[in-house]
Structure 1
Amino acid sequence: MSLTALYQQIEDSDCIDIPEGWLQGRTIYGGLVAAMLMHKAVSAVNDATKRLLSVSVTFAGPVQLDQVKLTAEILREGKSVTTVEVRLWQQGAVQSILLASFGALRASSILVHQERPAPDYPPVESLKIAQHHPLAPECFKQMQMAWAEGQYPCTGAPRPDFGGWFRFDPNLHENREMNVADLMAAFDMWPPGVLPMYQTMAPASSLTWHLTYVHPLQNQLQDWFKYKVFTDYAGDGYSTEYAHLWDAAGRLIAISRQTVTVFA
């Protein structure tokens, strides 16, 4: 099932069949869960004059490859901002919650452009596309990723963090206009920033994820993007990190902050 077909299913029914090919270990990749929640939120708001401002996702429990139910509630609909909550249910329990704010553009005398510039990475054509490791999560096959700095996961690196280019694999995803649900599915594909420090293969998973949407997407699904992550702190089985995503033209698209559970 394509992402387009999945989104259509979300619009047509509250009960959704999760497509195959998105496993992250024994559970569903969090980025796909967030994409489903986001598309439900956009459909619930149903207002083209309001664009995504920010979104927070809590992954309360593991989502299995089985049917899920999505419910949405508009918490407040103001003149400028609409706030919506979406819940993903499986087997009678809430497994993930999204809280998002959508806002209309407003006149303001305040204008600040201090966003972090895109890193000067070598052209993606000169880099090696990462090959899917047999022990890596199945969902990694959905993307093409090329490391431009830092080390690969589970290589015993002395320091965390990395960056590079990535896009949806053109062999698996048709080219079309990219939307904010696609952004959620793509942005979370990079592993946590501490994974290069792992000595051996071991899991890590997002616990909470907050994303600020900066410049609206003007991209196709198969376009390349740049990514860079920075780990603030890691200890006692958790880490906190932030990441930036730019398009190939150097426009800052979104800023992410995550709390990650670390099993190493």
Structure 2
Amino acid sequence: MTSLIDLLASAQRTETGFESEIPANWLQGRTAYGGLSSALALAAAKQVEPDLPPLRSAQVAFVGPLAGPVTVSATKLRRGRNAAFIQADIVSEAGLGLRTTFVFMAQLESAIDHDGTAAARHAPPPADAELYTGPKEFFTGNFNFFDLKADTRPTQWLRWGRLIDRAGLDPEVELMALGDALPPAAFRLFAKMTPLSSLTWQVNILQPAPVTRDGWWLLEAETDSARNGYSSQTMRMWDADGKLVAEGTQGVAIFG
């Protein structure tokens, strides 16, 4: 098992990012788990500019499969007085696999102070709860999960999750690594196993540099529409105190 921390520590630095290799325990099928790819891209993006403000938005395109040796590179698109836009790509032998745009933005004084978000109604699992961890040869082996099945709607996933090996990890990189850990919500509509693949992922960070307790984050994904081989879903992420820290959308291809 290679942790995300070990993967970043062993990466070979380049002028624009780093080179690494996707371990088998971070794969989902023939490609890297999307949260890992996004976390690696963010790690490279944060090397481009010194003293970046907090991450506030990420636009992720899962262009193609990523496996084996990869090159992660980042480029500053623009840095203004308050915000910085940085693009990060990951390329493997098969070509471009991931393209991201990260937006880092400082907090500004504003007369607007509105929060219409709903707090999570569920507490993190107790210390003696029976947790699920996936097999070591699959990316879910890097996480602990606790499902809230009794409280979910038919097209919704609701699950507590945490990265097992997270000590010393950049909190924003940890957030990206965990944010895509749920199966696509359209999966709950299937009567039989059907292949799916995430296409795009838009994430907005509501709380600058969010942290949580004991690594636990509450993850939600719910399908709004699924037809003609394409699904659109909304996604949310709360900290252990019930505060909404991130929300977004994802487009998913359905092959069957």
Partner amino acid, structure 1, of 2:147: W
Instruction: Verify: 1:186 aligned to 2:178, yes or no.
Output: yes
Conserved in 2, the CA contact under 8 Å of 1:121 and 1:148? no
Structure 2 gap ranges (5+): none
- Per the normalisation by structure 2, the TM-score is 0.88
Aligned to 2:3: 2
**Cα pair distance change 1:140/1:6, threshold 3 Å:** same
RMSD: 2.5
**Cα pair distance change 1:21/1:102, threshold 3 Å:** same
Conserved in 2, the CA contact under 8 Å of 1:161 and 1:193? yes
Q: Which of 212, 222, 229 is residue 219 of structure 1 equivalent to? A: 212
Instruction: Verify: 1:94 aligned to 2:87, yes or no.
Output: no
Q: SS state of the match for residue 36, structure 1?
A: helix
Instruction: Verify: 1:61 aligned to 2:54, yes or no.
Output: no
Alignment of 1:213-252 (within 5 A): 213-215=205-207, 216-219=209-212, 222-252=214-244
Conserved in 2, the CA contact under 8 Å of 1:121 and 1:164? no
Deviations 1:111-148 (A, max 9, x none): 111122213357445754236479xx811111111111
Partner amino acid, structure 1, of 2:36: L
Percent identity of the aligned residues? 27
Shift in Å at residue 2 of structure 1? 2.7
Structure 1 gap ranges (5+): 153-157
Shift in Å at residue 229 of structure 1? 1.8
For 2:247 and 2:12, the matched residues in 1 are separated by 27
Aligned to 2:157: 162
For 2:228 and 2:76, the matched residues in 1 are separated by 37
Conserved in 1, the CA contact under 8 Å of 2:124 and 2:216? no
Conserved in 1, the CA contact under 8 Å of 2:124 and 2:240? no
For 1:85 and 1:67, the matched residues in 2 are separated by 20
For 1:115 and 1:258, the matched residues in 2 are separated by 19
Partner amino acid, structure 2, of 1:108: S
Q: SS state of the match for residue 249, structure 1?
A: coil
Q: Which of 40, 50, 53 is residue 44 of structure 2 equivalent to? A: 40
For 2:150 and 2:65, the matched residues in 1 are separated by 29
For 2:61 and 2:191, the matched residues in 1 are separated by 28
Conserved in 2, the CA contact under 8 Å of 1:124 and 1:165? no
For 1:115 and 1:167, the matched residues in 2 are separated by 22
**Cα pair distance change 1:200/1:125, threshold 3 Å:** farther
Conserved in 1, the CA contact under 8 Å of 2:133 and 2:140? no
For 1:260 and 1:132, the matched residues in 2 are separated by 22
Partner amino acid, structure 1, of 2:145: M
Tell me how many residue pairs correspond in the alignment. Answer: 251
Aligned to 1:203: 195
